[in-house]
Structures are given as C-alpha cells and as structure tokens.
Amino acid sequence: MNDSRMPYAVAATVPHDQLGRALHDLRISVTDRCNFRCVYCMPKEVFGRDHQFLERRELLTFEEITRLARIFTRHGVGKIRLTGGEPLVRRNLEELIAMLAAVPGLDLTLTTNGSLLKQKTRALRDAGLKRITVSLDSLDDETFMRMNDVDFPVARVLEGIEAAAAAGFAPIKINMVVKRGMNEAGILPMARFFRERGHILRFIEYMDVGHTNGWRMDDVVTAREIVERINAEMPLEPADPNYRGEVARRWRYRDGSGEIGVIASVTQAFCRDCTRVRLSTEGKLYTCLFATGGHDLRSLLRGGASDDEIDAAIRAIWAKRSDRYSEIRTAQTAKLEKIEMSYIGG
C-alpha cells in the first residue's frame, strides 16, 4: 500500500470498542525490571532481592515487538510509547528504537527515570528517537531518594535531561508523581525550575495502580490543588488539548513562558477518550491500566499465526473493550488484584 494513502485506507477499518473509542496509542513495556524502587510503583517490600522477574526467553524479542507494532498501525495506531519497568535497562534498546523508527507513520516516544540517560542519549537519538519523557519527583535529594528508595541523586537525572536537550530532544517532558506528605512541597520549585529551562512539567495524581503500593485517596494531591498553588505565584490559563484524548490537561503561563500539564486520572477521569492499549513485557495485551487480566499475543506470535490472524485477534479484543476504571474507582476497587504498573507499562 502506498504510505501517503494509508491513513485514509486505514481509517475505514479502524475498530471501535463498546464505548465507541478508537485505538490510537500503544504503550509497550520492554522490561519488568528497574534500577529504582519508587515507593508508589515498586515498593521494596514486594520487589525485594528474591522477587522473580521474567526470564529472558519470556520477553518479546525486538523482532516480535516490531512485528506487532506494524500490525497495530493497521488499526490506526499512530503513537507508540516505550516504557517499563525502566526501558533503558533493556540491553541494546537502541536497536529496537531503530527498528520501530523505520515503521512509517509512527510517532515514537519513551518514558525513563533518567538514571541512564546521560550515557544513552546519543545512541537513542542516533537510532531515530525524537521525543522523550523523564520522570523526576523532586529537586530535593532527600525527598527524591526517599521516593526512589535506592539513594539515587537528583543531579544525575538532571545531567541526563541536559544531555537529552543538548542532543536535540524537544520538547522534553518531565513527569512528577505527587504524593501527599512526600513531595508536595516540591510543586513550586519544580515548576519554577523547568519553566526556566523550557521543559514541560507534568504533574501526575498518585494512582492506585497494581495492588502493592498501599494507595489511599488521602495521599492524592489533586490536579486542582496543584494548579491553584502554581497559579497563585505564576498565573496560568487553560490551553487547548493538542489532540482528542490527550492524557494531560494543558495550562499555559499567562506571561508566555511555557506550559505545564496535569494528569488527573483520579479526580477527573478521562476514560471516555481513552484510546490506549498496553503490551506487557511478555506479550500480553491489556486494554486498561487497571486491568486484572490480559490477552496473550506471544503464543500467537510463536505459534505461527499470520499477520492477518494476529490482526483479527487484536480487532476482536478491542471490539469487546468496555473499560472505564477511573470513572468507577472506589476504595473497594483500589484493593482489587490489578496488574502491576512496572509489568504492564506506565
């Protein structure tokens, strides 16, 4: 098929789920391992020394991931985010980036904790990656170390961000999960710091992902509170979304000095526009971040299924989808045995 005609040809066949949502974004977890133990994601008590991570043969290979990515583009997927676990701990990740960068019509991006970014930036860039998101929860070492729980210093993440900016990544997005009593004092210092540097800071409401982080509603600092705090010092105005279904709500500094985003998945659920699907490290497909089960695509890949057969399986999974967890979240649902975020991909 001629690539320039593809969007129109594909548009006619894009499947819709039970709530009329199309499939646009694919998040791929390339590893369930991580060199951090963020308290809200991989608490040490659960992800300790004897924790069993997936074995190498269980992981999708780069070839398998790329084959699936190509099939997903037939469904209208135009955006892929590589995540994990920590994607940069997967060996030779740049080879996968180069393979995905060669798939026509894909907007490719990656979320990282930034710890290995300084040494990997050049290879990522050369492989064809153009956009990057770096997670950083505080500029204060003591707070940051308490959150990453492996004594990792802020300065090394900042060096990674600087290296990425110097290598031409733009805009760089910074993710900050805000947890009450932990890092909310860092909201303003973070906003000031990244506004000066021209990076887009995005505040994420602390979520009840997985079932190990001991989430309580009282620990959530709401998007509204975050915006009010910043607005009091640096006046903000709402900005239009870049596209329908954008996860972060955008706010612009009134003086034109940039923007922030707030991801209010707890207090302002955006399920209605959720066009995302997640592929786990071992090739299970999850139609919601809060799913309790996935669909095994690896056995199709390794069992000799054709592209058309895999395509049909994905179509059938999406057609049945009715997820809207954040809209129906309660203290009770928070206790469900959901899949861990480090495995399913944040």
Q: Considering the rule CB under 6 A, would residue 342 count as an interface residue with ligand SAM?
A: yes
Least distance from C-beta 110 to ligand SF4, angstroms? Answer: 12
Instruction: Considering only the stretches 198-206, 215-223, 235-243, 271-279, report the one whose residues sit in contact with ligand SF4 under the rule CB under 6 A.
Output: 271-279
Among 301, 326, 340, 344, binds ligand SF4 (CB under 6 A): 326
Cα–Cα nearest to 209, from 27, 36, 339, 48? 339
Among 271, 305, 313, 315, binds ligand SF4 (CB under 6 A): 271
Least distance from C-beta 257 to ligand SF4, angstroms? Answer: 28
Sequential DSSP letters for 138-190: -SSHHHHHHHHSS---HHHHHHHHHHHHHTT--SEEEEEEEBTTTTGGGHHHH
From ligand SAM, ligand SF4, none, interface partner of 326 (C-beta below 5 to 8 A by class): ligand SF4
Q: Considering the rule CB under 6 A, would residue 84 count as an interface residue with ligand SAM?
A: yes
State the Cα torsion 274-257-198-170 to the nearest 10°. 60
Task: State the burial class of residue 85 (Cβ atoms within 10 Å of its Cβ: 0-12, 13-18, 19+).
Answer: buried
Choose between 28 and 98: whose C-beta lies nearer to ligand SAM.
28
* Distance (Å) of CA 225 to CA 62, 201, 229: 42, 16, 6
b/e burial code for range 306-328 (CB count within 10 A of at least 16 → b): eeeebbebbbebbeebebbbbee
Among 23, 194, 342, 344, binds ligand SF4 (CB under 6 A): 342
Instruction: Considering only the stretches 204-212, 275-283, 300-308, 309-317, report the one whose residues sit in contact with ligand SAM under the rule CB under 6 A.
Output: 204-212
Q: What is the 3-state secondary structure (H, E, C) of 270-283?
A: CHHHCCEEEECCCC
Q: Considering the rule CB under 6 A, would residue 113 count as an interface residue with ligand SF4?
A: yes
Cβ–Cβ < 8 Å for 101, 129: yes
Residues 169-188, mask of contacts with ligand SAM (x by CB under 6 A):
------x-x-----------
Among 17, 25, 32, 86, binds ligand SAM (CB under 6 A): 86
Residues 7-36, mask of contacts with ligand SF4 (x by CB under 6 A):
---------------------------x-x
Q: Are strands 249-253 and 236-238 parallel, antiparallel or unpaired?
A: antiparallel
Residues in 213-272 that interact with ligand SAM by CB under 6 A? 213
Say if residue 104 is preceded by a cis peptide, omega within 30 of 0. Answer: no
Q: Considering the rule CB under 6 A, would residue 179 count as an interface residue with ligand SF4?
A: no
Q: Considering the rule CB under 6 A, would residue 183 count as an interface residue with ligand SF4?
A: no
Helix, strand and coil content of the chain, in percent to the nearest 5, comes to: 35, 15, 45
Instruction: Considering only the stretches 54-62, 95-103, 144-152, 201-209, report the one whose residues sit in contact with ligand SAM under the rule CB under 6 A.
Output: 201-209
Q: Considering the rule CB under 6 A, would residue 80 count as an interface residue with ligand SAM?
A: no
Sequential DSSP letters for 83-109: ESS-GGGSTTHHHHHHHHHTSTT-EEE
Q: Considering the rule CB under 6 A, would residue 157 count as an interface residue with ligand SF4?
A: no
Q: Which residues bind ligand SAM (CB under 6 A)?
A: 34, 40-41, 83-84, 86, 111-113, 135, 175, 177, 204, 206-207, 209, 213, 341-342, 346
